[in-house]
Amino acid sequence: MHFWNSDVLRLFIAVFLAAIVSIFIGHFLYLLLLVCIIYILRQALLLNQIEHWLRSGAKASHPSHSGIWDEIYYHIFHIKKSNKKRKKQLGRIIKQFRKSTAALPDAIVVLVEHDEIAWFNNAAKPILGLKKRDKGHV
């Protein structure tokens, strides 16, 4: 919550400065409108930067920003990092599964959606007459 407060404080200071300047030159509403437009443009720029970072794969560490944007980058980066770690772990589990089932004398066939063949062990080849080209078929 602390990061959100710094963004609100920054906006409050800009409005306060617009109010002070308007004492000398008048036109408070025009200055307030200018502050709002600048704030919206800054947010649009930051949204564009995060979109560009995500489109590039968010591979590098997140760009350094202040306020709520730094928190957003931080959380996205760590979610992506934990997903990559989980994907590696699942890959190791699948590799271990294939290795252990390949040694079995029984025919084993792994089916996915719509009963498509995803994988089969060596024993399934002669018993069921399967060939490598049968992967992905019903």
Handedness of CA 84, 89, 95, 98 (dihedral sign): negative
**Residue for token digits 């959380």?**
75
H runs (alpha helix) in the chain: 2-25, 28-55, 68-102, 124-128
Q: Which domain holds residue 83?
A: 2-103
Cα separation of 68 and 7, whole Å?
7
Q: What is the pTM of this model?
A: 0.58
Condensed to tens digits (0 to 9), the pLDDT of residues 59-89 reads: 766 677 777 888 888 888 888 889 989 999 9
Statement to judge: residues 135 and 123 lie in one domain: yes
Based on the domain organization, do 11 and 39 belong to the same domain?
yes
pLDDT in tens, the chain (138 residues): 566 677 788 888 888 888 888 888 888 888 888 888 988 898 898 888 888 888 888 776 667 777 788 888 888 888 888 998 999 999 999 899 888 888 888 888 888 888 898 888 888 888 888 888 877 766
121 closest CA partner among 93, 95, 99, 88: 99
Residues 86 and 49 in one domain: yes
**Residues 31, 65 within the same domain:** yes
Q: Specify whether 54 is located in the same domain as 112.
A: no
